[in-house]
Amino acid sequence: MNIPASDKKRIVIIGGGFAGLTLGKKLRKSDYQVVLLDRNNFHTFQPLLYQVATAGLEPDSITYPIRKVFQKYPDFYFRMAEVQHVNTTDRIVNTNLGELEYDYLVIATGAQSNFFGNSQVEDYSMPMKSIRDALDLRSLLLQNFEDALVTDSIEEREKLMNVVIVGAGPTGVELAGALAELKARVLPSDYPDLDMSRMKIRLLDGADKVLPAMSGAASEESLHYLEKLGVEVQLGVFVENYDGHYIHTNQGKIAARTLIWSAGVLGNPVEGIPLGTVDQQAKANRYEIDEYFRVKGIENVFAIGDVASMVNEDLPAGHPMLASVACQQGVYLARNLRRLSEEREFVPFKYQDKGSLATVGTNKAVADLPGFKTQGMLAWYIWMFVHLFLLIGFRNRLVAFMNWVWAYITYDTGVRLIIRPFQRRE
């Protein structure tokens, strides 16, 4: 892979998401040589993917070049590579670029969509885990409206205009709200020949409330906001099948050419490193780690972020798969790796819950913060400030802020572009 030899011990980080990026930044000027591997040459701010999908932001405003983050870091190397297998016996990472030896390995490969074994739903639905997914969804939505204009069948027109979202967590709720605002404020001007009252936005979930991980007040207020925006929320509904035209559920059949899947996630394990033996770990594809992030049973291998699960009495399913958890774990592991080089004892991880946020639309958001809960406009301002602060790069913050201000003033979004047509599976 052409990484220079070094007298320092080498740390290889697989994954440039929140966990891997934070760890790499915190290892600056450490006693290690650090190599970061990722299949992309950019970091994606996943909490705002839904805004790219609904034409609220340009894709380059929520992505940032990994090389630019680390360009002034000594003895730090980035390679855009696909990891194919890890040999933990010989401490070798096999990639499409060749082999790479390591002294310490950190798995930070994040998560993937969980389709619960339903291959047909996986084939025909639209996930929301990457910038490519968001661009594909944006193209599909716009293509469907273009096709709806020219079809003579009212049934087909309604199927093309209808959107069904499965999963009422933050991604599903935020997507539903953004689509509802698009329907109310933008699409009638773009497509005056279409009767927008025929467009139905449905949010389905098997649970008995939206945003189940948040407080009851946040859940109730979010449901109120969604219904006020015209979203049809159906709870206790499980998707059984989807053929690209009809969604079959335990409560009937829904006609729609667009099914967005945000119902669950799985960890992204690496070939060659087995999962833990705990049932919950195997179900969620997450590595079982101890309080120091060491993968149990494997020497010199660590895991952080969504692919890792630290099980204890208080958290039988591990920490939630959130960016805030991933970032804190990256900070702690960097601290422990520095202590390791100094032959000092590790510090156990203690997660600080910084709360949860979700936005449903303009001036409509919910916030569950430590010792403080609020809804409405104040929560919306908090949501905007936090997301702007967490974006990487001043330009990205400025572009996102200007887009939000423009949309707030004009009730319009400016990136309704089909740059790369999506090839729908028929």
Angle 280-84-6 (CA atoms, 0-180°, nearest 5)?
105
Distance of CA 240 to the CA centre of its chain: 24
**Among the listed residues 95, 109, 103, 108, the one whose alpha carbon sits nearest the alpha carbon of residue 34:** 103
> Exactly one of 58, 101, 174, 426 is catalytic; which is it?
174
Q: Is 174 a catalytic residue?
A: yes
Q: Which two tokens stand for residue 291?
A: 């309080």
| Interstrand relation of 301-303 and 356-361 (parallel, antiparallel or unpaired) | unpaired
E strand segments, 270-398 = 287-288, 301-303, 308-309, 356-361, 364-369, 372-375
Q: Which two tokens stand for residue 418?
A: 């089909």
Cβ pair 268, 285 in contact under 8 A: yes
Cα–Cα distance between 423 and 265 in angstroms, integer?
Answer: 24
* 23-35 CB burial, b ≥16 within 10 A, e <16: bbbbbeebebbbb
**Within 13 Å, how many C-alpha atoms sit on residue 319's CB side?**
29
Q: Which residues are catalytic?
A: 174
